[in-house]
Structure 1
Amino acid sequence: MRTSPASPAASPARPALRWAARILLAVIGVVFAIWLVLFITKGRFLKHPFERVASSLADRKISVAGDFQLYFAPLRIKFLAEGLRVANPGWAGRPDLFAARRIDARIAPLSLIFGRRHIYTLDLDGGSADLEWDAPHRSNTWTFGKPGSGKPLELPRVDRATITGTRIRYVDPRMPLTADLEVDPIVSKDARIGKAVALHGDGTLRDTPFRVTARLLSPDATIGRGENALELRAWAANNVIDVSGKLPSISDIEGVPLHVRAQGRDLSELLGIIDVVIPQTRRYTLTSQLVKDGTDYRFTGLAGRFGNSDLSGRLNIANGDRLHMDAALNTRQLDIIDAAPFIGYNPDIVAAKGAVAAAAATGAGPRRVLPDARLPVAAMQRFDATLDWKIGVIRSRNVPVQNIALKLVLDHGRLALSPLTFSMARGNVASDLIFDTRQRPSAVSYDIRLARTPMGQLLAGYGVAQSGTTGTIQGRLKLEGRGDTIHDSLASASGRIAVVMPRGTLWTQNAQLAELDIGTFVTKMFQGKLKKPIEINCGLVGFTVRNGTAAADPILIDTSKNVVTGRGAFSFDSEAIDIAFRADGKKFSLFSGQSPVSVRGNFAHPTLDVISPQLIGRAGVGLGLAVVATPAAGLLAFVDIGDAKSAACGPVLAGASAAAQRTSKGKPRDDVGIGKAH
């Protein structure tokens, strides 16, 4: 009898398959039962488990105050929550990172496990987000998990969305910056929004109020986490700032090149927002590329104008524990009015009313030119700065200055302009200016050195022709004082001022007018020798400064025809001037006044007095002689016997004080004063 051909192993397989089928049916049944229970109950009973699990995963409290639904409808997960709140870390200024009156979404189930989360539809009403950095700038509210181990919030893909009543608050205490923004309603369909997403709002940056509007011009790219075109405009402190660029995500600007354009009435107001102090400017317009790199904000390709001057270069602002600004700038032409703020003048007042009015606006007294604008001591001690600025030429009728190079270092309140160099009338000026606000009042030092400079070109801007004038001058001003204004520091200053004139030639006209040698002047005029030059052997205009008063020490100019001396003083405090020049001839001259020419008044309005008491007295003597003797005898009072003593040029060219001056025969001079104000 033959047996069945079936394999002996086939019989045990059938029970296994049956068991597998039963298990599968059971799983399907359980899943269906769960689906059915969730569908019938809308998953409302999962509210508290959802809060516990979500809070554990996010490492912060998540709660739902109102209705809650979580179920399959039919194969997509429906999520509805009213009064949803996601808590902030304990250090944050507000309790919630995110809150919404109502969220209604359809979510792809597998996206919760694999890949990026995918939301088919999203209706969000009354949402508010609080984005905040902590004080050390190590943690923020939107990064979940423990500090250093959390992951930033990743926006899901959304196919269709309706978003209304959304507000965003952003706080960065390091800057410090606070912004409250409202997002305009958003409606998208088939993963396309179809129009720009706009927001607007206001806030404060370092206590300066601002308002802002922004638009995301490619919002569909935001949905897909692609490239987003951004346009932003902000108004703050009389300035308008425009920012545009393409962001890799809606909130990521790190390392992204942005185009920035700023314009306003005063650039110092713009930088003052971040506590950076610069001199006041006239209306400006600047463009640049901005890249944020951590705490650094790098502005490259800087170009624009302020007032009638141009500006280009780069600027880096490091917003670390202590703000530091580093800049390298270039200016082809700097208008003299735009340069006025560098010494404390308001350029608009200078342009409209002149330097005296600008000085008065700083608090200076009437008829004064030294500004009383105070150094911003507190601000200078809050930030540090380095600046390398090169200027091609100063645009001015009377100041032939060009090739300016300035190196500035501000370190914890000590401001050093060192060196500050420039060319003036083919001569060079080098200076070192120090304003140390760490000492109270500020310790200020001025060291200005003038290399040999042609007088003809230097004075050409004041109407003096260069022809016939070959003399040069060189000098140095070295003063130290105390005060928080230029006026106060000079009013308390002590030191030395000396201008030396080596050998050269000067118009006869200029010398003869100075000595009032009427006979020689008229004679040369009728002989056609008005422009015949005379020789300058050497000259020194020196002042010793004590407590703000500069006394002639000495004034001594030796020419081929006369010796010019001067006495007197001027005050940096009151700005009063009282100096008398006297020219004594070396040769006999008839009709010579032999009388001092006085310079009086003040810095703002100096006056030249050629009718001096000595000249009036000499005229009286001449009149008396004419009465008691003969008319010809009256002329004797105006005769210069030509007894002026030539100067030894060694002490003159060395800039020595009056006590060291000698005649050409080596004897001490008795006609140059003692270097003190009388």
Structure 2
Amino acid sequence: MVFAVVVSSIMLARFDGDGIRRDTLAALEAVSGRQWTLGDAVMFKPGVAPVLVLSDLRTPNVVWATRPDLLSVTRIEIESDWMSVLRRRPRIVALRLEGLELNLETGLDDNNNWGTPVPTITPANTATVSAQGLSELHSIELKNTRIRFRSGWGDIEKTYRIESIELRSSGVDSPLVVSVKAQVNEWPVSFSGELGSPAAMIGGGTFGVTLEGRYSGHESDAEMQLIGQVGALSGLRDIHLKFSLKANSLNDVGSISGFALPRDTPISITAVVTSSDAGLNLEDYVLRIGQAIIRPSAAPQRR
């Protein structure tokens, strides 16, 4: 404890909030190709482990969008360790984000607001630079996340609230273990599984996705699965994901939409999500309701 107090005093004397803001914004802009802003308050929180606290991180939306920010985060806590901080080469051990809001929109001309600008540094350089600070990153936690989607063409808007997201890994080259708790129309949803390693994501390489989830409906739980791969995280390229959903009661899925549906009819959905230069594509979509089989551009079939 005495060591922590002494080191805290040294760090507070050397603390440069403006420099941290400047370096953080430069790194974000280099990696994402977007402009970012940070709040004026940059705090250093001493303790057993040093924590840097940033606030009000934002990146602006496209001019035609209905919300000013594409993404905003109310509070960011970056946890490090004392020895690396004293050497002025801080390692990031844990990252905690609170109040993240992501606003996704499509326009009337079938365009969208999430197309990622070209980064100002190459993925290879990004991996080299980031791996130095992220080699000890073991956990990422998000609390009170909101994802809003609006279709300008269909004039439909929906907001999804996610209570918590936890990503944990034993190292930068190890898979991320994922745990998600959310609500859709006040009904609980949970996901768990694995994603690719932080090194693959940062370096722009392909990484795997294996997630299983449950949605608590009116009658019982609906089971979901998402398996496949994602290419470069920046721009969401080379996506190939297989999605499936199965419920014993159609009314369990009805709780998602807010409508009451028949209770005794089972339902299943299978589909493949891919990506191309035109955006995301939905392929091999099959909806089974009871004995009926429904495919896009095809009349309902019965077995």
Q: Superposed, which structure 2 residues align to 1:459-470 within 5 Å?
A: none
Please say if 1:166 is aligned against 2:166: no
Please say if 1:215 is aligned against 2:191: yes
- Counterpart among 37, 62, 75 of residue 101 in structure 1: 75
CA distance in 1, matches of 2:27, 2:172: 27
Could you say what secondary structure the match of 1:257 adopts? strand
How far did residue 290 of structure 1 move? 0.9
Contact residue 260 and residue 289 of structure 1 kept, 8 A: yes
CA distance in 2, matches of 1:272, 1:79: 39
How far did residue 198 of structure 1 move? 1.3
CA distance in 2, matches of 1:182, 1:97: 17
Aligned to 1:197: 178
- What one-letter code is carried by the residue in structure 2 that aligns with 1:104? I
Please say if 1:41 is aligned against 2:14: yes
How far did residue 247 of structure 1 move? 3.7
Please say if 1:67 is aligned against 2:42: yes
- Over residues 347-401 of structure 1, what are the superposed CA-to-partner deviations in whole Å (9 max), with x where a residue is unaligned? xxxxxxxxxxxxxxxxxxxxxxxxxxxxxxxxxxxxxxxxxxxxxxxxxxxxxxx
How far did residue 189 of structure 1 move? 3.3
- Over residues 648-675 of structure 1, what are the superposed CA-to-partner deviations in whole Å (9 max), with x where a residue is unaligned? xxxxxxxxxxxxxxxxxxxxxxxxxxxx
> Matched residues, percent identical?
10
How far did residue 181 of structure 1 move? 0.7
Contact residue 264 and residue 284 of structure 1 kept, 8 A: yes
Aligned to 2:213: 232
How far did residue 219 of structure 1 move? 4.2
- Over residues 570-625 of structure 1, what are the superposed CA-to-partner deviations in whole Å (9 max), with x where a residue is unaligned? xxxxxxxxxxxxxxxxxxxxxxxxxxxxxxxxxxxxxxxxxxxxxxxxxxxxxxxx
Q: How many residue pairs align between the two structures? A: 247
Q: Do the aligned partners of residues 44 and 282 (structure 1) sit closer, same or farther apart at CA in structure 2, a change above 3 Å counting?
A: closer
How far did residue 54 of structure 1 move? 6.1
How far did residue 46 of structure 1 move? 1.6
Please say if 1:259 is aligned against 2:244: yes
Q: Do the aligned partners of residues 92 and 150 (structure 1) sit closer, same or farther apart at CA in structure 2, a change above 3 Å counting?
A: farther
Could you say what secondary structure the match of 2:67 adopts? coil
- Counterpart among 291, 302, 310 of residue 272 in structure 2: 291
Q: Superposed, which structure 2 residues align to 1:399-414 within 5 Å?
A: none
CA distance in 1, matches of 2:112, 2:91: 32
How far did residue 244 of structure 1 move? 0.7
TM-score scaled by length of structure 2: 0.59
- Over residues 286-334 of structure 1, what are the superposed CA-to-partner deviations in whole Å (9 max), with x where a residue is unaligned? 33421235566445465563xxxx334x422xxxxxxxxx4433324xx
5+ residue gaps, structure 1: 1-37, 70-77, 107-118, 204-208, 317-325, 333-678
Aligned to 2:102: 131
CA distance in 1, matches of 2:266, 2:14: 64
Could you say what secondary structure the match of 1:284 adopts? coil
The structure having more radius of gyration, on CA atoms, is 1
Contact residue 222 and residue 249 of structure 1 kept, 8 A: no
Please say if 1:83 is aligned against 2:30: no
- Over residues 194-248 of structure 1, what are the superposed CA-to-partner deviations in whole Å (9 max), with x where a residue is unaligned? 8842111224xxxxx2534333412464664421211123356768543213242
CA distance in 2, matches of 1:273, 1:247: 27
Contact residue 47 and residue 64 of structure 1 kept, 8 A: no
Contact residue 243 and residue 272 of structure 2 kept, 8 A: yes
CA distance in 1, matches of 2:96, 2:255: 39
Q: Do the aligned partners of residues 99 and 246 (structure 1) sit closer, same or farther apart at CA in structure 2, a change above 3 Å counting?
A: same
5+ residue gaps, structure 2: 1-10, 45-49, 81-89, 202-206
Please say if 1:248 is aligned against 2:229: yes
Q: Superposed, which structure 2 residues align to 1:200-599 within 5 Å?
A: 200-203=181-184, 209=185, 211-219=187-195, 221=197, 224-225=200-201, 226-235=207-216, 241-249=222-230, 254-265=239-250, 270=254, 273=257, 283-292=264-273, 297-298=282-283, 300=285, 303=288, 305=290, 310-312=291-293, 314-316=294-296, 326-332=297-303
Q: Do the aligned partners of residues 272 and 189 (structure 1) sit closer, same or farther apart at CA in structure 2, a change above 3 Å counting?
A: closer
Contact residue 243 and residue 261 of structure 1 kept, 8 A: yes
- Over residues 459-481 of structure 1, what are the superposed CA-to-partner deviations in whole Å (9 max), with x where a residue is unaligned? xxxxxxxxxxxxxxxxxxxxxxx
CA distance in 1, matches of 2:262, 2:37: 52
Could you say what secondary structure the match of 1:259 adopts? strand
- If asked which structure has higher relative contact order (CA below 8 Å, sep 6+), I would say 2
CA distance in 2, matches of 1:298, 1:236: 26
CA distance in 1, matches of 2:224, 2:292: 20
CA distance in 1, matches of 2:263, 2:101: 39
CA distance in 1, matches of 2:256, 2:183: 18
- What one-letter code is carried by the residue in structure 2 that aligns with 1:121? I
How far did residue 140 of structure 1 move? 3.1
Aligned to 2:83: none
Provide the alpha-carbon RMSD of the alignment: 4.7
TM-score scaled by length of structure 1: 0.30
- What one-letter code is carried by the residue in structure 2 that aligns with 1:264? S
CA distance in 2, matches of 1:229, 1:167: 24
CA distance in 2, matches of 1:299, 1:266: 24
Could you say what secondary structure the match of 1:46 adopts? helix
Q: Do the aligned partners of residues 282 and 213 (structure 1) sit closer, same or farther apart at CA in structure 2, a change above 3 Å counting?
A: closer
- Over residues 18-64 of structure 1, what are the superposed CA-to-partner deviations in whole Å (9 max), with x where a residue is unaligned? xxxxxxxxxxxxxxxxxxxx997344452464477568755434114
Contact residue 54 and residue 62 of structure 1 kept, 8 A: no
- Over residues 145-180 of structure 1, what are the superposed CA-to-partner deviations in whole Å (9 max), with x where a residue is unaligned? 4xxx679x9996644223345333222212643211
Contact residue 104 and residue 148 of structure 2 kept, 8 A: yes
Could you say what secondary structure the match of 1:129 adopts? strand
CA distance in 2, matches of 1:238, 1:284: 11
How far did residue 99 of structure 1 move? 2.0
Q: Do the aligned partners of residues 245 and 92 (structure 1) sit closer, same or farther apart at CA in structure 2, a change above 3 Å counting?
A: same
Q: Do the aligned partners of residues 53 and 140 (structure 1) sit closer, same or farther apart at CA in structure 2, a change above 3 Å counting?
A: same
Contact residue 64 and residue 81 of structure 1 kept, 8 A: no
CA distance in 1, matches of 2:212, 2:79: 30
